[in-house]
Amino acid sequence: MSSNVNHAANFGNHRVHRRHLDFGAVARPIALTRIPVPVLIAVAMLAVGLAGITRPGMWADELATWAAVRLTWPDLFQLLGNTDAVNGGYYLLLKPWTAVAGTSELALRLPATVATVASAALVTMIGQRLGGLRWAIPAGIIFVLLPVVSRYAQEARAYALVVALSLLAGWLLIRSAESGRHPWFIGYAAAVTALGAFHLMGLLLLAGHAVMIVALGGSWRRWLLAVAAAILALTPLMIIGTHQIGQTDWIEPISVAGIARLPTVLFGSHTVAILVLALAAVSILRHRDRLTVALLSWAVAPTIGLLLVAQVSDLWFPRYLLFTMPAWVLLAARAFSSPTWRPRVHGVVLVLILGVVAGAGTLAHLDVRSTSGHGHDTRAVAAVITEHARPGDALVVNLAEPVVPWEARDLVAAYVPVHAQPDDVFALTEQRENGRFLATETSDADVLRTVDRVWVIRFENPPDVLSDLGGSKESRLRADFTVTEHWQLRGLSVALLTRHR
């Protein structure tokens, strides 16, 4: 079967047959069993994804998931309607799952692991579809080896699902360009709709697909119809999202430093990022054809789109572009796809390069599986409070905390045993009550008049744990209490204050 993608394998117009792209002669010595390569890669990804999955403590975003799925259905819908609609698709997926599996770290993170396993298979399938096993095998292995893949395979948030859906959309786009038939475009429209439902920023992928469909010689008119259908389906969510723009108020204005962080965020390690991007550069220079244009547009166009958006609204956050990472992986893997290499030479080079990638990412893999591997050592904070708690202790948090003002209360609820939890004396309502994301508090600092010891939990590590605590809380604590112990941990700090004697 010939196809537009086969035309794209060479930038010229001569036809390249599918049997040549599959490298059938090479497949036999590489495949030791009859199990399809995507399945083997998926099994490897499952093993890597499950390794150490419960060791890191849940950080702020995961705690938000933990708390949301524990709400009743009416309370969850009220929350989504008021403040958190952009995460609604993910919560609606997890709530029935957790009703069966529970809300342990394993249960909450397992859907992300499954999504990442699907992503590994899809990366391999795309590589095999475009260039045979010499492309597919390194693509799958590089994907599995990336520290960032392990990080989000073990995260109770939607990012792993967004990557999986972006890959599914990419695979369906390639198939639709090959055949031009309606069913592939219908599937593509459904995948894009699901992608937007899990994360609206994922729709930036369409900037890359606009170039891809032309580069692959597909029907851009049918593609536009599929995109229009997806956008129409997502319009209500977009409208609600515009009224909840406060959810992104914590994002800092775009800066050179923020842009420079992108490679490390995409690959999970600065060294690994250099290696993968270097391989991608070799591939781009070696294969200056339509497939390169297609994959490069997938990798770069969404980034340009977010850069442009960030000029008018503070939305530059590198993690939003994780779905571009597979395109870089496919470009890097194509450096191994030369049909002129003998199988033995190809195997030796592949093992050496992938060994270097694995070695470069070892420390990052160990880090993401540590107790503080998700950036905030919530378990350590809880352990400190549990060990030193006394009856009558009080908890004080900062509702104006930058980025994650909900985390302190959530980590206490999730990780500190009930008998050791300090009294939340300022809280008038619980978090996520009546559709409000944060608790409401009294402004009357007299609630501390009968308290002798206070626990203060802060985001990151301010030298002065009481700085910018807010209002009468700070003034009363400074006047009546002394910081007797201060633990500075990864991403968080916790202090014990005692009343002056």
Give the pLDDT confidence of 442-471 residue by residue, as tens digits: 999 999 999 999 999 999 999 899 998 877
* Whether pLDDT at 340 is above 90: no
- Mean pLDDT over 405-419 rounds to 96
29 with 124, same domain?
yes
Among 335, 364, 393, identify where a domain stops: 364
pLDDT digits (tens, 9 = 90+) for 26-46: 444 444 457 899 999 999 999
Tally of structural domains, the chain: 2
Query: Predicted confidence band at 24 (pLDDT cuts at 50, 70, 90)?
Result: very low
In a domain, 84, yes or no: no
pLDDT digits (tens, 9 = 90+) for 65-120: 999 999 999 999 999 988 888 889 999 999 999 999 999 999 999 999 999 999 99
pLDDT for the residue numbered 415: 97
Range of the domain at 435: 378-499
pLDDT for the residue numbered 196: 95
pLDDT for the residue numbered 471: 77
* Whether pLDDT at 23 is above 90: no
* C-alpha to C-alpha distance for 487 and 495, rounded to whole angstroms: 6
267 with 410, same domain?
no
Q: What are phi and psi of 394, to 5 degrees?
A: -115, 155
- Weakest-pLDDT range from 109-118, 246-255, 270-279, 432-441: 246-255
* C-alpha to C-alpha distance for 101 and 69, rounded to whole angstroms: 12
454 with 484, same domain?
yes
197 with 327, same domain?
yes
Among 314, 341, 364, identify where a domain stops: 364
Find tokens 């699901």 and name the residue. Answer: 194
345 with 403, same domain?
no
- Mean pLDDT over 267-286 rounds to 93
pLDDT for the residue numbered 342: 64
* Whether pLDDT at 150 is above 70: yes
305 with 432, same domain?
no
In a domain, 451, yes or no: yes
In a domain, 110, yes or no: yes
Nearest Cα neighbor of 162 from 114, 126, 208, 198 is 198
> How do strand 481-489 and strand 394-396 relate by DSSP bridges?
unpaired
Contact between 152 and 193 (Cβ < 8 Å): no
Query: Predicted confidence band at 5 (pLDDT cuts at 50, 70, 90)?
Result: very low
Angle in degrees, 0-180, between the axes of helices 159-179 and 220-242, rounded to the nearest 10: 160
Q: Please, how many CA atoms are within 13 Å of residue 481, restricted to the half-sphere of its CB?
A: 27
In a domain, 484, yes or no: yes
Angle in degrees, 0-180, between the axes of helices 205-215 and 220-242, rounded to the nearest 10: 180
pLDDT digits (tens, 9 = 90+) for 350-378: 777 778 777 888 999 999 999 999 999 99
* C-alpha to C-alpha distance for 3 and 22, rounded to whole angstroms: 14
Percent of the chain residues past pLDDT 90, beyond the cut: 73
In a domain, 171, yes or no: yes
pLDDT for the residue numbered 6: 45
In a domain, 113, yes or no: yes
267 with 386, same domain?
no
288 with 199, same domain?
yes
Largest CA distance in the chain: 89
259 with 327, same domain?
yes
In a domain, 302, yes or no: yes
Angle in degrees, 0-180, between the axes of helices 88-101 and 105-131, rounded to the nearest 10: 120
In a domain, 158, yes or no: yes
Contact between 466 and 428 (Cβ < 8 Å): no
Q: What is the mean pLDDT of the chain?
A: 89
Among 364, 399, 423, identify where a domain stops: 364
Percent of the chain residues past pLDDT 70, beyond the cut: 90
pLDDT for the residue numbered 247: 63
* C-alpha to C-alpha distance for 36 and 93, rounded to whole angstroms: 29
* Whether pLDDT at 1 is above 50: no
pLDDT digits (tens, 9 = 90+) for 214-236: 999 988 899 999 999 999 999 98
Query: Predicted confidence band at 162 (pLDDT cuts at 50, 70, 90)?
Result: very high
352 with 441, same domain?
no
50 with 139, same domain?
yes
420 with 299, same domain?
no
Q: What is the DSSP string of 124-168?
A: HHHHHHHH-HHHHHHHHHHHHH-HHHHHHHT-SSSHHHHHHHHHH
